């Protein structure tokens, strides 16, 4: 019998440029999802990058909540891919269910942000991101866009805007809308504190830590004095202003696929005393890929 045909991909022909639209570059949009928010899906549909060049990948935990989210997600997928307008349809969609660990208990915002819950949570999240990445990254992928399931509002040109900077790793600033009782009006505040520049204090703290200990950002009992991108935002600042970063969050993050292909992943263990997305930034850097952030380019996180 004849041998099956061999698929050849010349990675040199897969371009990764500042103008992905003109070069028809493939985007892999990855979302770890514990809960389904309709606004997340509606925002996805509004992305102006040609949907026929976007592959969606999801990973959901095998919990009651994860099951409910999977059902909701599948309902919306069926609507968009089968009965919706052709221009809304994505190239392909992959859904994974987590098959490791006892799944984490569902936690509300306050509970999951408690410092003693962070190491286990972040390690589980890192594994979820790695599973999702390693099962979906293909030979034709140019860019990977990480977008959390609770990021419910982004500019519609998000992909083009981020890619235009031609950075290996680039993070917009993740904010949260809330009702401000003092102003008696809607307001917004910084949400994601994982985008930061390192400080001498944090470096010193890390030196005194045990090999498995991790540094966490945004906790009073662990003052790192890192420069947080969340606080670099200026109301009148240029949207295209960039700053170099040492740590990144995963709420919204555009990564050149070559950075992941080189081996940069999300360490589910202490890597230079960093874990998950912050560990990823460090690993990218060690591979020679400098992460950047956009302090004045905002995306919005759901408010529980
Ligand atoms: P936070 O915003 O930093 O508090 O983190 P989240 O709890 O929102 O988690 C980040 C992303 O991972 C969101 O998209 C969640 O829906 C998703 N997520 C949270 N926990 C799990 C989990 O156990 N498994 C998977 N697959 N996704 C999760
Ligand atoms: Mn979140």
Q: Is residue 3 part of a domain?
A: no
Q: Is residue 101 part of a domain?
A: yes
Q: Is residue 6 part of a domain?
A: no
What residues flank ligand 1, with Cβ below 6 Å? 32-35, 59-61, 98, 104, 112, 124-125, 128, 148-150
Q: How confident is the model at residue 118 (pLDDT cuts 50, 70, 90)?
A: confident
No. of H helices and E strands in the chain? 8, 12
Q: Is residue 1 part of a domain?
A: no
Q: Is residue 2 part of a domain?
A: no
The closest ligand to the CA of 34 turns out to be 1
**Lowest-confidence pick of 112-116, 187-191, 274-278, 290-294:** 112-116
Task: Give per-residue pLDDT as tens, 156-177.
Answer: 999 999 999 999 999 999 999 9
Question: 196 C-alpha to center of ligand 2: Å?
Answer: 17
Question: 39 C-alpha to center of ligand 1: Å?
Answer: 16
Taking Cα atoms as reference points, which of 280, 259, 52 lies closest to residue 142? 259
What is the structure's pLDDT at 220? 83
Q: Is residue 103 part of a domain?
A: yes
Which residue's CA is minimally distant from atom 21 of ligand 1? 34
Question: 12 C-alpha to center of ligand 1: Å?
Answer: 34
Which residue's CA is minimally distant from atom 26 of ligand 1? 60
Task: Give per-residue pLDDT as tens, 123-142.
Answer: 999 999 999 999 999 999 99
* Token pair in block for residue 133: 């990445």
The answer to whether the beta carbons of residues 199 and 227 sit under 8 Å apart is: yes
Which residue's CA is minimally distant from atom 24 of ligand 1? 61
Alpha carbons 96 and 136: distance in angstroms, whole number: 10
**Per-residue pLDDT averaged across 175-193, rounded?**
97
* Token pair in block for residue 124: 């589980």
**Lowest-confidence pick of 66-80, 211-225, 281-295:** 211-225
User: Burial letters for 26-41: b for 16+ Cβ neighbours within 10 Å, e otherwise?
Assistant: bbbbbbbbbbbbeebb
The phi and psi torsions of 64 (rounded to 5 degrees) equal -60, -45
Q: How confident is the model at residue 188 (pLDDT cuts 50, 70, 90)?
A: very high
What is the structure's pLDDT at 102? 60
CATH of the domain at 60: 3.90.550.10
Q: Which domain holds residue 33?
A: 11-301
Q: Is residue 245 part of a domain?
A: yes
**Lowest-confidence pick of 44-48, 77-81, 107-111:** 107-111
What is the structure's pLDDT at 9? 84
Question: 204 C-alpha to center of ligand 1: Å?
Answer: 30
Alpha carbons 246 and 67: distance in angstroms, whole number: 36
**Per-residue pLDDT averaged across 259-265, rounded?**
98
Q: How confident is the model at residue 12 (pLDDT cuts 50, 70, 90)?
A: confident
pLDDT of 89 > 60? The answer is yes
Alpha carbons 49 and 36: distance in angstroms, whole number: 22
Alpha carbons 187 and 206: distance in angstroms, whole number: 36
**Per-residue pLDDT averaged across 47-60, rounded?**
98
Q: Is residue 243 part of a domain?
A: yes
pLDDT of 103 > 60? The answer is no
Taking Cα atoms as reference points, which of 125, 173, 126, 113 lies closest to residue 298? 173
Q: What's the structural domain count of the chain?
A: 1
The answer to whether the beta carbons of residues 123 and 232 sit under 8 Å apart is: no
């Amino acid at each position: 019998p004849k041998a099956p045909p061999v698929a050849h991909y010349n990675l040199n022909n897969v371009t990764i440029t500042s103008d992905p639209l003109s070069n028809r570059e493939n985007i892999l949009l990855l979302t770890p999802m514990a809960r389904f928010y309709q606004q997340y899906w509606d925002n996805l549909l509004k992305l102006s990058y040609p949907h026929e060049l976007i592959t969606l990948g999801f990973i959901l935990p095998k919990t009651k909540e994860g099951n409910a989210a999977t059902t909701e997600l599948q309902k919306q997928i069926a609507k968009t891919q089968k009965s919706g307008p052709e221009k809304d349809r994505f190239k392909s969609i992959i859904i994974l269910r987590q098959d490791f660990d006892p799944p984490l208990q569902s936690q509300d915002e306050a509970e999951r942000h408690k410092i003693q819950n962070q190491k286990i949570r972040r390690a589980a999240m890192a594994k979820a991101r790695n599973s999702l990445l390693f099962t979906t990254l293909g030979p034709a992928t140019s860019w990977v866009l990480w977008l959390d399931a609770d990021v419910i509002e982004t500019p519609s040109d998000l992909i083009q805007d981020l890619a235009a900077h031609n950075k290996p790793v680039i993070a917009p600033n993740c904010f949260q809308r809330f009702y401000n009782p003092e102003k008696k009006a809607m307001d917004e505040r910084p949400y994601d504190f994982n985008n930061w520049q390192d400080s001498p204090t944090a470096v010193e703290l890390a030196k005194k830590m045990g090999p498995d200990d991790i540094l966490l950002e945004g906790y009073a009992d662990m003052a790192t004095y890192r420069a947080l991108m969340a606080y670099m935002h200026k109301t009148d600042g240029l949207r295209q202003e960039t700053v170099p970063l040492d740590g990144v969050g995963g709420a919204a993050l555009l990564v050149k696929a070559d950075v992941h292909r080189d081996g940069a992943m999300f360490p589910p263990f202490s890597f230079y005393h960093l874990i998950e997305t912050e560990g990823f930034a460090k690993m990218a850097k060690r591979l020679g890929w400098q992460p950047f952030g956009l302090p004045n380019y905002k995306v919005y996180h759901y408010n529980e």
